[in-house]
Amino acid sequence: MSARALLSMTGDLGAEPVAYTELAGRIRVLIADGRVAVGTRLPSERELAVLAGRSRTTIVATYQALRDSGHLVSRQGSGSRATLPHLADISKRPGRAVNFAGSVPPPVDGLRELIAETTTDLPDITTFPGFDLLGNDALREAIADRYTQRGPPTSPDQIIVTTGGQHAIALTAQTLIQRTDTALVESPTYPHAYEAFQRAGARMIASPVTTDGWDIPHLVATIQQSRPVLAYLIPDFHNPTGASMHPEDRARVVHAARTAGTTLVIDEAPADLNIDRPWDDGPFARHATRDATWNGSGIITLGSLSKSIWSGLRIGWIRADEAVIRRLVQARPAGDLGTPPIEQLIGERVVRRLDELVIGRRRFLHEHRTVLTESLNRRLPQWTTPWPDGGLSMWVQLDHPGSSALTSICRARGMSLIAGPKFSIDGSLERFLRLPFTSPIADLDAGVELLADAWAHLDANARTAHERLPASAI
């Protein structure tokens, strides 16, 4: 964290000399509140002294006071990092290795049988090309047929099979983005997507989403003003908020993108995870087909079987114009040389029976969502727990910032968890936490119990930090 960023949060120190105890107190509150996340490297004493216009001695004493109260650890060579008092102690309390980090559901019911069936009937694989950049014809046909049945007419030539949805994102990023291009993402969004765009050299901008959905006027205005080369959206059961974009809003976003020359990269990896959303608008790309001049070329759709069926299959795809597919095929060898054929054979059968297979997934998500909600309402009633109608996780709002601090404590006790800021490109969202409901039922309540214990510890800490500070500084 830069000295400027830190000082913007400590508030005006005024012209009068500020005693080091007061400056230390203000920083302590920021750490206890989570506005300065645990693990954040604070500016060097020299940098802070210069920017704050204080003597080096004052800042040295400030950092020493923070070390003494357990809010800072300094190590030779790695600077001074924010921490919390007793973090090491609470970390030693027995925990449980609960996974609240990945939203990875188990294989769907019926998959085992389908794999057994496929491998028993296995055609002679020595006749398969071992090097296949586009994907198996039968699988591409099954995927294309599914789009056509659900809305936008699609030919197999508009489909490339990838090694999962993440590969579809990375390949799209690598093909579409040139260094210094602008890419728009939602905030919050799926972190590995913006990482792929950043790695391709994009300058990132963001538009907000909450559990209530998109700020459509903001999204439309940002697309029109910034004209990003691509806008990456997750319109169905958005990760992490669970929100779905209303059909009329989809048409408005498509119109804005068309006039700005922005390619919409629509990630439909979670689209089959409907628990009880009362409507289904079909694939997003169907909105483009109504516009004869655009003809769908500005929409690239990404799909995956990971969430609806099993992430171990590593089957994803991209639906785009044939010309875009050709560019993707050309760019692909720099990253990988094809999706394994046996998985594609299984994938074809899965896609043909997708509607039937996801019934079990829905039942699973329905039950797990209820258990997690009840547990959160019972143990952490001060948090705002949403009720998503699909997807794999909840975007929970905490009663005060502190997501990173909470995550540090839980991790130290064996629970894996991702803090809210990871889902934003600018490190904001300390007030939020994504909680997947994909873990085994027994782990859901055990995980929330651990969260509640850690949150109580943080609350006690924040109270102490506030009590130590003169009211004028809070």
Ligand X SMILES: Cc1ncc(COP(=O)(O)O)c(C=O)c1O
Of the residues 182, 306, 339, 403, which one makes contact with ligand X according to CB under 6 A: 306
> How near is the Cβ of 314 to ligand X at its closest, in Å?
7
Query: Which residue has its beta carbon closest to ligand X?
Result: 165
Nearer to ligand X, 48 or 184 (CB): 184
> How near is the Cβ of 373 to ligand X at its closest, in Å?
21
Q: Which residue has the tokens 């969260």?
A: 451
Is residue 235 part of the contact set for ligand X (CB under 6 A)? no
Q: Which residue has the tokens 């907000």?
A: 208
Task: Indicate the SS3 state at residue 21.
Answer: helix
Nearer to ligand X, 244 or 304 (CB): 304
User: Structure tokens of 185?
Assistant: 């993402």
Around Cβ 278, how many Cβ atoms within 10 Å?
Answer: 6
* Cα separations in angstroms, 408 against 83, 85, 126, 379: 9, 12, 50, 20
* Contact criterion met (CB below 8 Å) for 143 and 303: yes
Is residue 388 part of the contact set for ligand X (CB under 6 A)? no
d(CA 152, CA 469) in angstroms, rounded, equals 61
Residues 75-134 within binding reach of ligand X (CB under 6 A): 103
Of the residues 234, 300, 372, 405, which one makes contact with ligand X according to CB under 6 A: 234
> How near is the Cβ of 229 to ligand X at its closest, in Å?
19
d(CA 403, CA 434) in angstroms, rounded, equals 10
Residues 146-165 within binding reach of ligand X (CB under 6 A): 164-165
Nearer to ligand X, 103 or 404 (CB): 103
Nearer to ligand X, 144 or 196 (CB): 196
Is residue 239 part of the contact set for ligand X (CB under 6 A)? yes
d(CA 2, CA 150) in angstroms, rounded, equals 51
Q: Which residue has the tokens 């319109």?
A: 235
Of the residues 190, 214, 232, 364, which one makes contact with ligand X according to CB under 6 A: 190
d(CA 297, CA 170) in angstroms, rounded, equals 19
> How near is the Cβ of 26 to ligand X at its closest, in Å?
38
Instruction: Name, in order, each residue with C-beta under 8 angstroms of 137's C-beta and a sequence gap of 6 or more.
Output: 156
* Contact criterion met (CB below 8 Å) for 455 and 463: no
Of the residues 304, 375, 385, 408, which one makes contact with ligand X according to CB under 6 A: 304
Stretch 268-287: interaction string toward ligand X, x if CB under 6 A: -xx-----------------
> How near is the Cβ of 432 to ligand X at its closest, in Å?
16
* Contact criterion met (CB below 8 Å) for 268 and 301: yes
User: Structure tokens of 123?
Assistant: 């055609």
d(CA 241, CA 435) in angstroms, rounded, equals 10
Residues 307-336 within binding reach of ligand X (CB under 6 A): 311, 316
Nearer to ligand X, 171 or 396 (CB): 171
Residue ranges binding ligand X (CB under 6 A): 103, 164-166, 190, 234, 239, 267, 269-270, 304, 306, 311, 316
